[in-house]
Homo-oligomer: A and B are copies of this chain.
Amino acid sequence: MPLTQDQQDEINELRSTTTQTLRATAPGMEKHLYTAYPVLDHGFVRVIDYMGDDNAITQAARVSYGKGTKAVSNDEGLIRYLMRHWHSTPFEMCELKLHVKLPVFVARQWIRHRTANVNEYSARYSILDREFYIPAPEHLAAQSVVNNQGRGEALSGEEAERVLRYLRDDAMRCYDHYEEMISQDDQQGLARELARMNLPANVYTQWYWKVDLHNLLHFLRLRADAHAQYEIRVYADEICKLVADWVPYAYKAFEDYRMGGATLSSTALDCVRRMIKGEEVTQENSGMSKGEWREFQALL
């Protein structure tokens, strides 16, 4: 269970106190505020704060385009137009702040998205908890045989058992030694900033992560994608649900134009045109490499 009773009590208290505000409020998001949604075995995602709603997007767009935009009859239509034409600045006018608990190897992927604000728990300063990600048996995947950067089927039998035993035992032993090294009982105690180096990458950390909606959607497009590593995808999936309730028009446009969409090259567009005319197009006469053709076929 990812939360202690104390933490749950704090959340309950925060959720019981409402204040008056003149700001735009998103009812769909208010219901999620502070609640920790479990992810993986010890992780969670919870909304700490948000700014703006669907209307904040169109309001910003109307500053840019003035009275002219009244032609686009409604908010949803305008949001779809902005998404379709990659007019990204109005989406930057919404902001989300999350509290996330996640394994270090997931955090290392996540942090590569640079246009966000982050405050991470400091293991130089404080002591990490004895919490490690151990995959559920069905997620203990083999290396893909077709793709260097991918997974195959789940391991099974003795091999699966051995892997789980290694992961658990090594984590526990490393943590025992971490604790023993920093202990100040009858010894000096190693500096925390050094001792932490003994902890494997499945140890959990946590951070506050604040990002604008445009950059958040970019993150979700990459990390909620089928090719993303499972362990970060489950976080992205959870965040998708929150965004869908927060800015429903923007999220729907995102699903249609980004998540479900695809970019075709000039060559691929040309093939599509020929195919629609009834022409037989093969890899050989497509102008594509084998890899591109395979991806093109999968798309259609």
Give the B-binding residues of A (Cβ under 8 A). Answer: 14-15, 17-25, 30, 33-34, 49-52, 56, 59-61, 63-68, 71, 77, 80-81, 84, 86, 89-90, 92-93, 95, 97, 99, 103-105, 108, 111-112, 114-115, 117-122, 124-127, 133, 135, 140-144, 148-153, 155, 159, 162-163, 166-167, 170-171, 173-174, 177, 180-182, 184, 187-194, 196-202, 206-208, 210, 212, 222, 229, 255-257, 259-269, 272-273, 275-276, 278, 289, 291-292, 295, 299-300
Contacts and interface: CB of A to CB of B under 8 A. Distances in A.
A105 B202 contact: no
Given A262-B263, A276-B275, A194 B63 contact: no
26 contacts: A19-B25, A20-B20, A20-B30, A23-B49, A64-B119, A64-B122, A66-B121, A80-B292, A84-B265, A90-B119, A92-B210, A93-B210, A95-B95, A112-B118, A141-B191, A152-B191, A166-B177, A166-B180, A170-B174, A197-B202, A198-B200, A199-B201, A201-B201, A259-B266, A263-B263, A278-B278
A260 B256 contact: no
Given A104-B201, A263-B257, A265-B84, A124 B149 contact: yes
Contacts of A22: 14-15, 17-18, 30, 33-34
Contacts of A171: 198
A187 B161 CA distance: 13
Contact of A143 (B148, B182, B269): B182
Nearest to A173: B170
A184 B89 CA distance: 31
A230 to B, nearest CB: 9
Contacts of A187: 159
B196 A201 contact: yes
